[in-house]
Amino acid sequence: MDRVELVLRKYDGRPHRSVTGLRLGDDEHGTWIGTPRGSVVRFSYGASPVEHTRHDAVRLIPHDGWWMAMFLAEPSTQEIYCDVTTPAEHSPGRITVIDLDIDVTRFRPDGRVLIEDEDEFDQHRREFGYPPEMVTRATAAAAHLHNALTRADEPFGTHALGWMTRLGGATPPRTGNPAATE
């Protein structure tokens, strides 16, 4: 499995967060990246610029969607966490998206689905001047994700389990300098 950096930026170009993962493969839904427990996550905000993931997870970067999803292993109370983003840009060893702030989460054990951070989206929409088409696509993506997660439409049903099995006992990819920022 090849190492890949998943980079999230804000609309103004500043770094937001990045994670080093393992490229598991591609299917009809998109590119799957594994982040075993202990994978390095770098933040450009908050008190701790570097953290390590607490749960095994697989991440789906759709071929052309305005979102990306993270499927978390138990005992995480979050089952699926989706970021609304611009479509991904792929380059060798890196996938980059613009995080548009809205998140959609399905929780376990009750299957509750919430759209979160709409206030942050509205603030950044005004502050950064999101184009009207971007606002339309982002809000449509959040509504689509809410419905798909609620109904457990694939890939939000059982599809990710095969990718989680493929991740198996993989160890986190090593990075040269985990404190480095993008």
CATH superfamily ID and name for 2-160: FomD-like (2.40.380.10)
Q: Find, among 72, 13, 65, the residue nearest to 44 by Cα.
A: 13
Residue 109 CA, distance from chain mean position: 21
Q: Report pLDDT for 41.
A: 87
Q: Report pLDDT for 114.
A: 97
Q: Is residue 153 within 8 Å of 29, Cβ to Cβ?
A: no
Q: Is residue 27 within 8 Å of 7, Cβ to Cβ?
A: no
* Alpha-carbon gap, residue 130 to 98, rounded angstroms: 11
Written as six digits, the tokens of 131 are: 């184009």
* Alpha-carbon gap, residue 15 to 8, rounded angstroms: 7
3 state DSSP class of 125: helix
Structure confidence by residue, pLDDT tens digits, 156-179: 999 999 999 999 866 667 554 333
Q: Report pLDDT for 40.
A: 84
Residues (pLDDT < 50) of the chain are: 176-182
Q: Report pLDDT for 169.
A: 65
